[in-house]
């Protein structure tokens, strides 16, 4: 099944499909965008000095899609010409496999870079997705931010990381 703009999947991620989603849009003339920036987060085989065997991702899917919608709306607020596609994979992933894919298109490259970076920062802050690291000798839930989309301090920090 082709990916939708904002979704959770158990399948292998396909950046090229996301690029098509943000550039081939029936409401827009072709060539509206002059830049597409993509991001693929991949499973690192080493973390905190231990050898990672697998990451097991869980998501609260309906709220994760809702979180992606919030992120897309924030991107639209900040960079109105940008168009975002965002897909996160769940299930068991091995080192080297893609876990999150983002494509941000914009008429000019500066906004596309910023929108893409902002989106991954916000995914890490608010998307209800969790990973358990299975490493040599044990396993551990990785815990990052307390998910609160209305936390303006976090949102500002994501924007600063995107724009510096």
Partner 1 sequence: MQVTIRLFARLRDIAGAADLVRDVPEGATVETAWQALATEFPAMAPHRAALSAAVNAEYARFTRGLVERDEVVFLPPVSGG
Owner of token pair 């973390």: 47
For residues 25 and 66, which CB has a smaller minimum distance to partner 1 in the complex? 66
Q: Does 34 bind partner 1 (CB under 8 A)?
A: no
User: How many Cβ atoms from other residues are within 10 Å of residue 61's Cβ?
Assistant: 15
Angle at 164 (CA atoms; ends 106, 154), nearest 5 degrees: 90
Tokens of 134: 């299975």
| Binding segment toward partner 1, per CB under 8 A, in 24-32, 58-66, 72-80, 152-160 | 58-66
Under rule CB under 8 A, residue 143 binds partner 1? yes
Closest CA to 111 of 86, 76, 87, 85: 76
Using CB under 8 A as the binding rule, whether residue 57 contacts partner 1 is answered as yes
The footprint of partner 1 (CB under 8 A) covers 41, 57-60, 62-64, 66, 88, 99-100, 120, 123-132, 141-150
């Amino acid at each position: 099944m082709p990916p939708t703009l904002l979704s959770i999947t158990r399948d292998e991620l396909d950046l090229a499909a996301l690029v098509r989603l943000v550039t081939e849009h029936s409401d827009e003339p072709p060539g509206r965008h002059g830049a597409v920036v993509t991001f693929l987060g991949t499973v690192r085989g080493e973390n905190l000095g231990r050898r990672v065997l697998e990451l097991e991702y869980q998501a609260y899917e309906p709220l994760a899609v809702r979180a992606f919608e919030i992120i897309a709306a924030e991107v639209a607020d900040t960079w109105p010409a940008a168009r975002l596609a965002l897909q996160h994979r769940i299930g068991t992933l091995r080192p080297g496999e893609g876990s999150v894919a983002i494509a941000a298109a914009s008429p000019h490259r500066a906004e596309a870079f910023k929108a893409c970076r902002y989106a991954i920062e916000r995914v890490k802050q608010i998307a209800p997705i969790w990973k358990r690291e299975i490493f040599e000798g044990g396993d551990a839930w990785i815990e990052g931010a307390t998910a609160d989309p209305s936390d303006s301090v976090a949102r500002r920090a994501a924007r600063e990381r995107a724009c510096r």
